[in-house]
Amino acid sequence: MINAIYGKKIGMTQIFAEDDTVVPVTVIQAEPNTVCQVKTEATDGYEAVQLGFGYIKPRKVNQPMAGHFAKQGVEPKRYLREVRVENAGEYKVGDTQTVAAFAETKKVDVTGTSKGKGFAGVMKRYGFRGGPGGHGAHFHRAPGSVGQCATPSRVFKGLRLPGHMGCDTVTVRNLEVVRVDEDMNLILVKGAVPGSKNGIVRVRMA
Protein backbone atom coordinates (compact mmCIF):
# COMPACT_ATOMS: atom_id res chain seq x y z
CA MET A 1 0.00 0.00 0.00
CA ILE A 2 0.99 3.64 -0.38
CA ASN A 3 2.02 4.64 3.13
CA ALA A 4 2.36 8.40 2.56
CA ILE A 5 0.41 11.41 1.41
CA TYR A 6 1.47 14.97 0.59
CA GLY A 7 -0.35 18.03 1.80
CA LYS A 8 -0.09 21.61 2.97
CA LYS A 9 0.51 22.83 6.50
CA ILE A 10 -2.41 25.11 7.37
CA GLY A 11 -1.27 26.14 10.84
CA MET A 12 -1.63 25.29 14.51
CA THR A 13 -4.62 25.34 16.82
CA GLN A 14 -5.90 23.46 19.84
CA ILE A 15 -8.73 21.03 20.46
CA PHE A 16 -10.24 19.43 23.52
CA ALA A 17 -9.80 15.70 24.16
CA GLU A 18 -12.46 13.48 25.67
CA ASP A 19 -11.03 14.06 29.15
CA ASP A 20 -11.26 17.86 28.60
CA THR A 21 -7.50 18.30 28.28
CA VAL A 22 -6.23 20.80 25.71
CA VAL A 23 -4.28 19.21 22.86
CA PRO A 24 -2.08 21.42 20.61
CA VAL A 25 -2.41 20.22 17.02
CA THR A 26 -1.09 21.08 13.58
CA VAL A 27 -3.67 21.06 10.79
CA ILE A 28 -2.50 19.51 7.53
CA GLN A 29 -4.73 19.72 4.45
CA ALA A 30 -4.01 16.77 2.19
CA GLU A 31 -6.17 16.83 -0.91
CA PRO A 32 -6.41 13.56 -2.85
CA ASN A 33 -3.04 12.65 -4.35
CA THR A 34 -3.31 11.23 -7.88
CA VAL A 35 -0.98 8.54 -9.19
CA CYS A 36 0.56 10.20 -12.26
CA GLN A 37 3.15 7.53 -13.08
CA VAL A 38 4.03 4.00 -12.03
CA LYS A 39 7.72 3.04 -11.91
CA THR A 40 8.66 -0.62 -11.78
CA GLU A 41 11.87 -2.60 -11.47
CA ALA A 42 11.66 -3.65 -15.11
CA THR A 43 11.24 -0.18 -16.59
CA ASP A 44 12.97 2.16 -14.11
CA GLY A 45 15.09 -0.04 -11.89
CA TYR A 46 13.05 0.51 -8.73
CA GLU A 47 9.48 0.32 -7.43
CA ALA A 48 7.70 3.63 -6.86
CA VAL A 49 4.63 5.65 -7.70
CA GLN A 50 4.59 9.31 -8.68
CA LEU A 51 1.95 11.32 -6.83
CA GLY A 52 0.57 14.60 -8.16
CA PHE A 53 -1.32 17.14 -6.08
CA GLY A 54 -2.32 20.78 -6.17
CA TYR A 55 -4.36 22.59 -8.81
CA ILE A 56 -2.63 24.45 -11.62
CA LYS A 57 -4.09 26.17 -14.66
CA PRO A 58 -3.30 24.20 -17.85
CA ARG A 59 -1.91 27.34 -19.52
CA LYS A 60 0.70 27.65 -16.77
CA VAL A 61 2.14 24.17 -17.33
CA ASN A 62 5.38 24.19 -19.34
CA GLN A 63 5.68 22.02 -22.43
CA PRO A 64 7.78 19.18 -20.99
CA MET A 65 5.40 18.70 -18.05
CA ALA A 66 2.35 19.08 -20.29
CA GLY A 67 3.73 16.30 -22.47
CA HIS A 68 4.32 14.13 -19.40
CA PHE A 69 0.75 14.56 -18.16
CA ALA A 70 -0.68 14.03 -21.66
CA LYS A 71 1.32 10.81 -22.07
CA GLN A 72 0.02 9.48 -18.77
CA GLY A 73 -3.52 10.68 -19.48
CA VAL A 74 -4.01 12.63 -16.24
CA GLU A 75 -4.90 16.19 -15.35
CA PRO A 76 -1.92 18.54 -14.77
CA LYS A 77 -0.83 18.90 -11.15
CA ARG A 78 1.22 21.64 -9.52
CA TYR A 79 3.49 19.31 -7.53
CA LEU A 80 4.92 15.88 -8.24
CA ARG A 81 6.53 13.64 -5.64
CA GLU A 82 7.63 10.00 -5.55
CA VAL A 83 6.82 7.41 -2.92
CA ARG A 84 8.57 4.04 -2.78
CA VAL A 85 6.23 1.03 -2.64
CA GLU A 86 6.71 -2.72 -2.41
CA ASN A 87 4.95 -3.69 -5.65
CA ALA A 88 4.24 -0.79 -7.97
CA GLY A 89 2.49 -3.07 -10.46
CA GLU A 90 -0.51 -3.20 -8.14
CA TYR A 91 -1.27 0.45 -8.88
CA LYS A 92 -2.41 2.16 -12.04
CA VAL A 93 -2.35 5.75 -13.25
CA GLY A 94 -5.37 7.64 -11.99
CA ASP A 95 -5.59 5.98 -8.57
CA THR A 96 -5.96 8.38 -5.66
CA GLN A 97 -4.54 8.45 -2.15
CA THR A 98 -6.76 10.22 0.38
CA VAL A 99 -6.66 10.94 4.10
CA ALA A 100 -9.07 8.03 4.58
CA ALA A 101 -6.03 5.73 4.44
CA PHE A 102 -4.89 7.28 7.73
CA ALA A 103 -8.17 6.78 9.58
CA GLU A 104 -6.78 3.84 11.58
CA THR A 105 -3.21 5.15 11.85
CA LYS A 106 -2.00 6.06 15.33
CA LYS A 107 1.45 7.53 14.61
CA VAL A 108 2.93 9.35 11.60
CA ASP A 109 6.26 10.83 10.53
CA VAL A 110 5.98 14.34 9.06
CA THR A 111 8.69 15.72 6.78
CA GLY A 112 8.93 19.35 5.70
CA THR A 113 11.35 22.19 4.96
CA SER A 114 12.24 24.19 8.05
CA LYS A 115 11.91 27.96 8.14
CA GLY A 116 14.88 29.84 6.72
CA LYS A 117 16.68 32.06 9.22
CA GLY A 118 19.35 33.47 6.93
CA PHE A 119 22.92 34.00 8.17
CA ALA A 120 23.04 33.35 11.91
CA GLY A 121 25.71 33.50 14.57
CA VAL A 122 26.69 30.67 16.88
CA MET A 123 24.45 31.84 19.74
CA LYS A 124 21.31 31.68 17.63
CA ARG A 125 22.41 28.75 15.47
CA TYR A 126 23.82 26.43 18.13
CA GLY A 127 22.89 27.97 21.46
CA PHE A 128 26.37 29.11 22.50
CA ARG A 129 26.53 30.86 25.86
CA GLY A 130 28.44 33.90 24.62
CA GLY A 131 30.67 36.21 26.62
CA PRO A 132 30.02 38.67 29.47
CA GLY A 133 27.37 41.29 28.93
CA GLY A 134 29.18 44.10 30.70
CA HIS A 135 30.44 47.21 28.94
CA GLY A 136 34.05 46.46 29.85
CA ALA A 137 34.04 43.15 28.02
CA HIS A 138 34.95 43.08 24.35
CA PHE A 139 33.68 39.52 23.85
CA HIS A 140 29.90 39.21 23.63
CA ARG A 141 28.52 37.01 20.84
CA ALA A 142 31.65 35.70 19.12
CA PRO A 143 32.35 31.94 18.96
CA GLY A 144 35.70 32.08 20.76
CA SER A 145 38.75 29.99 19.96
CA VAL A 146 38.33 27.81 16.88
CA GLY A 147 41.74 26.21 16.32
CA GLN A 148 45.22 25.46 17.60
CA CYS A 149 48.56 27.20 17.29
CA ALA A 150 51.35 25.14 15.73
CA THR A 151 49.80 21.69 15.80
CA PRO A 152 47.83 20.88 13.75
CA SER A 153 47.73 24.50 12.49
CA ARG A 154 44.27 24.25 11.03
CA VAL A 155 40.60 24.39 11.91
CA PHE A 156 38.95 20.97 12.13
CA LYS A 157 36.12 20.14 9.75
CA GLY A 158 32.65 20.17 11.22
CA LEU A 159 33.36 22.95 13.70
CA ARG A 160 30.26 24.87 14.70
CA LEU A 161 30.59 28.34 13.20
CA PRO A 162 28.28 31.12 11.98
CA GLY A 163 26.52 30.37 8.73
CA HIS A 164 23.27 29.72 6.91
CA MET A 165 20.51 28.52 9.22
CA GLY A 166 17.25 26.83 8.28
CA CYS A 167 15.82 25.71 4.91
CA ASP A 168 16.68 22.11 5.81
CA THR A 169 14.63 18.97 5.27
CA VAL A 170 13.46 18.00 8.74
CA THR A 171 11.48 14.94 9.84
CA VAL A 172 9.53 14.79 13.10
CA ARG A 173 8.81 11.18 14.00
CA ASN A 174 6.02 9.41 15.84
CA LEU A 175 3.52 12.25 15.98
CA GLU A 176 0.12 11.21 17.26
CA VAL A 177 -2.81 11.42 14.85
CA VAL A 178 -5.54 13.19 16.80
CA ARG A 179 -8.24 13.42 14.14
CA VAL A 180 -8.84 12.69 10.45
CA ASP A 181 -11.54 14.68 8.64
CA GLU A 182 -12.29 12.93 5.35
CA ASP A 183 -14.85 15.56 4.24
CA MET A 184 -12.39 18.46 4.57
CA ASN A 185 -9.28 16.38 3.68
CA LEU A 186 -7.65 17.30 7.00
CA ILE A 187 -5.22 15.45 9.25
CA LEU A 188 -4.70 16.81 12.76
CA VAL A 189 -1.46 15.70 14.41
CA LYS A 190 -0.38 16.47 17.95
CA GLY A 191 2.48 18.94 18.23
CA ALA A 192 4.41 21.02 15.71
CA VAL A 193 5.69 20.06 12.28
CA PRO A 194 8.53 21.67 10.28
CA GLY A 195 7.99 24.63 7.99
CA SER A 196 5.85 27.70 7.73
CA LYS A 197 2.19 28.03 6.88
CA ASN A 198 1.26 26.76 3.39
CA GLY A 199 4.47 24.71 3.30
CA ILE A 200 4.42 21.31 1.59
CA VAL A 201 4.77 18.39 3.98
CA ARG A 202 4.85 14.62 3.64
CA VAL A 203 2.82 12.55 6.09
CA ARG A 204 4.02 8.95 6.31
CA MET A 205 2.70 6.12 8.43
CA ALA A 206 5.16 5.46 11.24
Q: What is the pLDDT of residues 130-160, one digit of tens each?
A: 999 999 999 999 999 888 888 888 889 999 9
User: Quick one: pLDDT at residue 70?
Assistant: 96
- Give residue 148's pLDDT: 82
Name the helix (H) or strand (E) containing 51. strand 48-53
Per-residue model confidence (pLDDT) at position 163: 97
- Name the pairing type of β-strands 48-53 and 79-84: antiparallel
pLDDT of residue 49: 96
| Average pLDDT of the chain to the nearest whole number | 95
Give CA–CA dist 202/193, Å, rounded. Answer: 10
pLDDT for position 65:
96
- pTM of the predicted model over 0.85: yes
User: What is the pLDDT, as a whole number, of residue 150?
Assistant: 85
For a pLDDT cut of 90, what percent of the chain falls above it? 91
Pairing of strands 22-29, 4-16: antiparallel
Residue 154 and residue 38: Cα distance in Å, rounded? 51
Q: Please tell me the predicted confidence (pLDDT) of residue 47.
A: 95
Which has the closest alpha carbon to 36: 50, 53, 55, 48? 50
Over residues 172-183, the mean pLDDT reads 96
Residue 193 has pLDDT above 90, yes or no: yes
Kindly report the number of other CB atoms within 10 A of residue 46's CB atom: 12
Local confidence band at 58 (pLDDT 50, 70, 90 cut-offs): very high
Cβ count near 206 (within 10 Å): 15
